[in-house]
């Protein structure tokens, strides 16, 4: 069994290595015909850019994206600069330089990778999946009898911030940096999933399709790990199945199929303000121009945020969204599970958390106010501030850096819910409802707590669960996503996630159950 595991690890690392090498290899050559078509399709009017590319790129062979991309970005930047200087605003190209490099790169790729997409898929994703499963599946036997399987977490390099954790950190951060800021280096990855993308939406894959596909693959594989690890715990089994379903069907398949049906791309479960660009002008316009389905999405999106989300939180707590439905939560609960113990439990972190997450919510709301005002007043400037620059700032700081690079990249170091805990504006909104008007609580079982600290250690949201449990108090916290792990790891059966009457949900106690009843009443009634 251990041998199978080790072989699996080697196979996985082979797949990972090939995948990691792809951004820097490959041949790119742009033919005059390809470029002509491209210019026509994009409606590029910059003669400077066209001649620059024709002179320096077209008809040449480039080995690796490193030699190809700078030519394109340079051509675009100098052309735009010149046009701005000459006030030729109609000629300015609004595609970002790196996106332009990615788009041109995508059509100019040639050679082995492009000609053997299926094989390359197998050598990357295929080996990764097979290797990972070979590494994970033997645990059915190796982990022994069902029960809590946290042995050695703080002895293992990978789960105790050792060098492996730092390698994973570097890999994840680099991956997100490429995805968000240097998409041209993701071009080779897009070839691998072109066949899948074409079969779904009919289009070739872009970097976001790679991301979406990979997201699903990673979640499925790591969900298998969850199923084995928590096979004694039905709550975890059901919850894992739920997040998996919503990711694959709602976040991945339905939007792609909608594109095939000429409908707007939309993830029906992605609620504003997590879906921060829902009220952006381009999105509203696109929805309003998409006929019935566009209107339906518009109404659904508003109803989802204003009615469905809070009502569901009232009945079930924010867990129904954060750990049962949400994609970010889904990744955190599968890929992130080995790192859940790293969230800081200090009071200081809690203070930082409250400022940050509510700050982001405020930012999102103010920004949306500006964009909506701009939309209805048909102006690009509100209160002397360019709406576009607010949106760009949010997209960059919150959408890309916080949610992506930090949110997932920092899993191995700061735990798996950095984004959900410190940044997600939807989580902040749900948190208000959960804290002040909800039936959900984690019930503490009388006086049974022994202060061992397993609950706090494994709380991914950094809640010091024990601080409540050892006082006999129920846990009612806005940040709790109801993953259920505190209850699972408790050795004494002290914690239970419940939806019950609001009365008595918050139960301050001085003297714990088990001591003289008269004394308890005397003190607790005070």
Partner 1 sequence: MEHIVIIGNGISGVTAARHIRKLSDKRISIISAETDFFFSRTALMYVYMGHMKFEHTQPYEDWFWKKNRIELINAYVEDINHQEKTLRIKDGADIRYDRLIIATGSKPNKFGWPGQDLKGVQGLYSKQDLDGVEKYAPNNTICKRAVIVGGGLIGIELAEMLRSRDIPVTFLVRENSFWNGVLPSGESQMINEHILEHHIDLRLATNLTEILPDENGRVKAIKTDKGDVIECEFVGLTAGVAPNIDFLKDSGIEIGRGVKVNRMLETNITDIYAIGDCAEQHEAIGSRRPIEAVWYTGRMMGETVAQTICGNKTEYNPGHWFNSAKFLDVEYQTYGWVFSEKTKKDSEKHFHWRHPKEKICITVAYHSDTNKFLGINTFGIRMRHEIFDRWLTEERNVDYVMEYLKDANFDPEFYAQHETEIVAKFNTEMGTGITPKKKSWKRIFKTA
511 touches partner 1 (CB under 8 A): yes
The whole-angstrom separation of Cα 14 and Cα 173 is 20
Binding mask 224-243 for partner 1 (x = CB under 8 A): --------xxxx-xx-----
Nearest C-alpha neighbor of 92 from the set 58, 56, 55, 42: 42
Would you count residue 111 as binding partner 1 (CB under 8 A)?
no
Among 70, 144, 291, 508, binds partner 1 (CB under 8 A): 144
Rounded to 5°, the CA angle 347-350-355 comes to 135
Distance CA 259, CA 319 (A): 30
Size of the site for partner 1 (CB under 8 A): 60
**Minimum CB distance to partner 1 smaller for 332 or for 520:** 520
Q: Which of residues 424-443 bind partner 1 (CB under 8 A)?
A: 443
Binding mask 295-334 for partner 1 (x = CB under 8 A): ----------------------------------------
Phi first, then psi: give them for residue 115, nearest 5 degrees. -85, -20
Could you tell me which of 185, 335, 198, 311 has the C-alpha nearest to residue 257?
198
By CB under 8 A, tell whether 487 contacts partner 1: yes
Least spacing, CB of residue 114 vs partner 1, in Å: 47
**112, 154, 208, 265: which one binds partner 1 (CB under 8 A):** 154
- Selected range binding partner 1 among 15-23, 47-55, 119-127, 481-489, rule: CB under 8 A: 481-489
Tell me the three-class secondary structure of 64-111, residue by residue: CHHHHHHHHHHHHHHHHHHHHHCCCHHHCCCCCHHHHHHHHHHHHEEC
Measured distance CA(431)–CA(342) in Å, rounded: 22
Interaction between residue 291 and partner 1 (CB under 8 A): no
Q: Which of 198, 451 has the CB closer to partner 1?
A: 451
The Cα–Cα gap between 490 and 446 comes to 14
* 443: β partners: 496
Candidate segments 23-31, 127-135, 152-160, 205-213, binder of partner 1 by CB under 8 A: 152-160
Site string for partner 1, 53-92 (x = CB under 8 A): ----------------------------------------
Smallest distance from partner 1 to CB 412, Å: 16
Q: Does 46 bind partner 1 (CB under 8 A)?
A: no
Work out how close the CB of 219 gets to partner 1 at its nearest, in angstroms, rounded to a whole number: 20
Cβ proximity to partner 1: between 63 and 156 the closer is 156
Binding mask 441-460 for partner 1 (x = CB under 8 A): --x-xxxx-xxxxx-xx---
Per CB under 8 A, the list member of 202, 369, 500, 508 interacting with partner 1 is 500
150 binds partner 1 (CB under 8 A): yes
- Cβ closer to partner 1: 39 or 164? 164
Kindly state whether residue 1 participates in binding partner 1, applying the rule CB under 8 A.
no
The torsion angle over the Cα atoms of residues 264, 265, 269 and 272, rounded to 10 degrees, is -80
155 touches partner 1 (CB under 8 A): yes
SS3 of 125, please?
helix
Q: Under the criterion CB under 8 A, does residue 2 sit at the interface with partner 1? A: no
Question: 470, 474, 478, 479: which one contacts partner 1 (CB under 8 A)?
Answer: 470
512 binds partner 1 (CB under 8 A): yes
CA-based angle 480:486:488, to the nearest 5?
135
Cα 189 to Cα 14, 52, 192, distances in angstroms: 16, 27, 5
**CA-to-CA dists, residue 195 to 187, 198, 274, angstroms:** 14, 5, 30
d(CA 386, CA 262): 32
Residue in 444, 484, 480, 451 with CA at minimum distance from that of residue 466: 451
Contacts 24+ apart (CB under 8 A), 501-508: 501/439, 502/437, 502/438, 502/439, 505/439, 505/441, 505/474, 505/476, 506/441, 506/473, 506/474, 506/476, 507/472, 507/473, 507/474, 508/473
The one among 2, 87, 90, 145 contacting partner 1 by CB under 8 A: 145
Place of tokens 């809070």: 310
x/- track of binding to partner 1 for residues 333-352 (CB under 8 A): -------------xx-----
Does residue 40 touch partner 1 according to CB under 8 A?
no
Q: Establish how many alpha carbons lie within 13 A of residue 312's alpha carbon, considering only the half-sphere containing its beta carbon.
A: 17
- CB atoms under 10 Å from CB of 392, counted, come to 12
Using DSSP's 3-state secondary structure scheme, residue 495 falls into strand
Using the contact rule CB under 8 A, the part of the chain among 72-80, 192-200, 378-386, 504-512 near partner 1 is 504-512
Q: Which is nearer to partner 1, 313 or 488 (CB)?
A: 488
Residues 354-383 that bind partner 1 (CB under 8 A): none
Q: Is 484 in the site for partner 1 (CB under 8 A)?
A: yes
Q: Which residues here bind partner 1, judged by CB under 8 A?
A: 144-148, 150-156, 232-235, 237-238, 346-347, 443, 445-448, 450-454, 456-457, 466-467, 470, 484, 487-489, 491-493, 496-498, 500-501, 503-504, 510-520
């Amino acid at each position: 069994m251990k041998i199978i595991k080790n072989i699996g690890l080697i196979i996985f690392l082979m797949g990972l290595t090939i995948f990691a090498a792809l951004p820097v290899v490959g041949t790119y050559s742009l033919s005059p015909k390809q470029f002509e078509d491209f210019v026509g399709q994009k409606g590029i009017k910059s003669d400077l850019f066209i001649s620059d590319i024709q002179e320096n790129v077209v008809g040449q062979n480039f080995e690796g994206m490193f030699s190809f991309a700078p030519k394109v970005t340079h051509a675009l930047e100098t052309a735009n600069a010149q046009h701005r200087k000459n006030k030729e605003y109609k000629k300015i190209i609004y595609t970002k330089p790196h996106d332009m490099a990615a788009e041109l790169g995508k059509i100019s790729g040639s050679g082995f990778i492009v000609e053997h997409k299926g094989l390359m898929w197998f050598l990357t994703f295929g080996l990764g999946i097979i290797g990972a499963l070979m590494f994970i599946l033997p645990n059915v036997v190796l982990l022994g009898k069902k029960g809590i399987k946290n042995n050695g977490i703080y002895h293992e390099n990978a789960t105790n911030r050792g060098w492996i954790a730092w390698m994973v950190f570097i890999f994840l951060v680099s991956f997100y940096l490429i995805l968000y800021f240097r998409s041209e280096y993701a071009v080779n990855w897009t070839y691998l999933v072109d066949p899948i993308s074409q079969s779904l939406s009919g289009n070739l894959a872009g970097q976001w399709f790679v991301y979406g596909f990979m997201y699903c693959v990673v979640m499925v594989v790591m969900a298998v790990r969850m199923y084995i690890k928590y096979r004694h715990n039905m709550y975890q089994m059901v919850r894992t199945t739920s997040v998996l379903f919503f990711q694959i069907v709602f976040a991945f398949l339905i939007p792609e199929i909608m594109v095939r049906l000429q409908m707007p791309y939309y993830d029906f479960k992605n609620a504003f303000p997590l879906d921060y660009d829902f009220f952006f002008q381009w999105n509203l316009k696109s929805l309003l121009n998409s006929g019935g389905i566009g209107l339906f999405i518009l109404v659904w999106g508003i109803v989802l945020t204003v009615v469905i989300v809070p009502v569901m939180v009232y009945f079930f707590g924010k867990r129904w969204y954060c750990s049962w439905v949400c994609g970010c939560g889904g990744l955190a609960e599968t890929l992130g599970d080995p790192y859940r113990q790293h969230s800081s439990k200090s009071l200081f972190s809690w203070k930082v958390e409250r400022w940050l997450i509510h700050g982001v919510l405020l930012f999102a709301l103010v920004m949306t106010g500006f964009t909506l005002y701009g939309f209805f007043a048909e102006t690009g400037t509100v209160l002397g501030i360019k709406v576009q620059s607010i949106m760009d700032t949010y997209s960059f700081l919150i959408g890309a850096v916080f949610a992506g690079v930090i949110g997932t990249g920092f899993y191995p170091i700061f735990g798996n819910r950095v984004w959900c805990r410190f940044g997600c504006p939807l989580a902040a909104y749900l948190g208000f409802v959960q804290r002040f008007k909800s039936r959900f609580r984690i019930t503490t079982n009388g006086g049974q707590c022994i202060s061992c600290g397993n609950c706090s250690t494994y709380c991914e949201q950094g809640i010091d669960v024990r601080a409540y449990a050892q006082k006999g108090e129920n846990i009612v916290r806005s940040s709790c996503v109801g993953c259920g792990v505190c209850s699972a790891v408790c050795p004494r059966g002290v914690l239970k996630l419940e939806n019950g009457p609001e009365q008595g949900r918050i139960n301050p106690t001085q003297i714990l159950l088990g001591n003289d009843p008269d004394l308890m009443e005397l003190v607790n009634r005070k």
